């Protein structure tokens, strides 16, 4: 009975170490792939990164004046163009900020994943040699 319990314990420990090793390796693989994706979109395929988080441009047509006193006053064409320029600047800031958040997430996943994988894999390999 005692030997059966220790065998089950070894199996559970092995499963745990293999599972953690696999998850850590997948963290590194997917984060590395995402970093490559970001680098390619930034420096090689720059058109693929445009307008990912864009506000739509407003159509700058001046409507006919309304006689309704509750109507919202029409925005001039110059004000509309100015708003579109501000939206484009904000779009660019948002795109850069999102890229930076993605890079930070990917680097932190790699920094955590590599040691986690190496530690658990080394323990697994040493256990296999001792069996």
pLDDT of residue 48: 84
> For 23-38, what is the mean pLDDT?
97
Domain boundaries, the chain: 2-130
Query: Half-sphere exposure (CA, 13 Å, Cβ side) for 28?
Result: 14
Q: Is the per-residue pLDDT at 130 higher than 60?
A: no
Length, in residues, of the chain: 131
Q: What is the DSSP letter of 58?
A: P
pLDDT of residue 80: 85
Place of tokens 């990164």: 49
pLDDT of residue 131: 45
Higher-confidence position of 52 and 96: 96
Q: Measuring CA to CA, how many Å separate 73 from each of 62, 84, 118? A: 11, 18, 65
Q: Is the per-residue pLDDT at 32 higher than 50?
A: yes
Q: Is the per-residue pLDDT at 1 higher than 80?
A: no
> For 53-70, what is the mean pLDDT?
66
Q: pTM (2 decimals)?
A: 0.74
pLDDT of residue 62: 62
Query: Please, which residues have CB within 8 angstroms of residue 97's CB and are 6 or more apart in sequence?
Result: none
- Average pLDDT across the chain, whole number: 85
């Amino acid at each position: 009975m005692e030997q059966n319990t220790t065998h089950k314990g070894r199996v559970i420990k092995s499963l745990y170490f293999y599972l953690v090793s696999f998850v850590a390796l997948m963290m590194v693989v997917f984060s590395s792939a995402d970093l490559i994706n970001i680098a390619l979109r930034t420096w090689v395929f720059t058109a693929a990164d445009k307008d990912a988080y864009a506000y739509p441009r407003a159509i700058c047509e001046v409507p006919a004046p309304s006689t309704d006193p509750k109507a919202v006053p029409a925005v001039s064409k110059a004000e509309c163009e100015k708003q579109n320029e501000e939206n484009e600047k904000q779009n660019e800031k948002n795109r850069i900020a999102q890229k930076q958040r993605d890079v930070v997430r990917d680097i932190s996943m790699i920094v955590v994943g590599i040691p986690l994988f190496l530690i658990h894999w080394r323990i697994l390999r040493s256990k296999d040699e001792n069996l």
